[in-house]
């Protein structure tokens, strides 16, 4: 720790708190399940499961409201949508890199990626098909995020359709920009996931507090 800069240490602290918050989310959902007379519904350490059962969460307070939202996001109707968004955040960068540095194989490689995202069960397909559920439940944030992602993906498909295997490198720029727009739309949806928004808020608060403490210690 003594070899770390204040910024590096703050980022480590932020990451620890972020992941610890995810653990707290699952524990509170298990407490909510116990309060409703059910098992946790997911794998837990035996001691943690016993502790959750011994502290059932009931009522309409903030803790319970948050737990219900997290449960729907983690294990309920939004779970598959969340998984698709999270997967895409981590797997969109290769397409951007290919479009940014096109070579003789770029057209085919990008086509494979786009077709994979759009095929049944692919990230774009899962997200697009979640719109009906979001509308039925009047989930305004999800509706906006799905619409933004779908429009961006369709835009990228359109830009790809204007290319050919013999396209010059500079002709890939419109597709590159469309993929960047898609990446931003996917990340926005990721950041809007209740469990991620909560964990990032906790982590960012830790980062800021650590920075202030370090500054106070070393004026």
Residue 191: enclosing H or E segment and its boundaries?
helix 173-191
What is the C-alpha to C-alpha distance for residues 1 and 10, in angstroms, rounded to an integer? 11
Cα dihedral across residues 38, 44, 50, 53: positive or negative: negative
What is the C-alpha to C-alpha distance for residues 108 and 200, in angstroms, rounded to an integer? 37
Give me the pLDDT at residue 216, please. 58
Give the domain ranges of the chain.
Answer: 6-217
Q: What are phi and psi of 165, to 5 degrees?
A: -60, -20
* Mean of pLDDT values over 191-211: 94
Whole-prediction pTM value? Answer: 0.89
What tens digit of pLDDT does each residue of 43-92 get? 999 999 999 999 999 999 999 999 999 999 999 999 999 999 999 999 99
What is the C-alpha to C-alpha distance for residues 19 and 32, in angstroms, rounded to an integer? 20
């Amino acid at each position: 720790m003594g070899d770390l800069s204040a910024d590096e240490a703050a980022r480590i602290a932020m990451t620890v708190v972020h992941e610890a918050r995810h653990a707290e989310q699952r524990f509170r959902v298990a407490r909510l399940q116990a309060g409703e007379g059910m098992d946790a519904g997911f794998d837990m350490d035996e001691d943690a499961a016993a502790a959750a059962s011994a502290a059932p969460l009931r009522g309409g307070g903030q803790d319970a409201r948050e737990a219900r939202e997290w449960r729907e996001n983690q294990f309920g109707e939004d779970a598959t949508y969340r998984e698709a968004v999270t997967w895409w955040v981590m797997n969109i960068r290769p397409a951007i890199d290919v479009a940014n540095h096109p070579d003789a194989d770029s057209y085919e490689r990008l086509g494979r990626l786009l077709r994979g995202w759009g095929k049944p069960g692919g990230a774009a397909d899962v997200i697009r098909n979640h719109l009906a559920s979001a509308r039925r439940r009047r989930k305004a944030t999800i509706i906006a995020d799905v619409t933004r992602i779908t429009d961006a993906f369709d835009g990228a498909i359109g830009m790809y359709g204007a290319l050919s295997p013999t396209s010059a490198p500079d002709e890939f720029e419109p597709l590159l920009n469309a993929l960047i727009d898609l990446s931003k739309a996917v990340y926005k949806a990721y950041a809007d996931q209740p469990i991620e928004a909560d964990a990032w808020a906790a982590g960012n608060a830790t980062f800021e507090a650590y920075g202030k403490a370090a500054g106070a210690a070393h004026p």
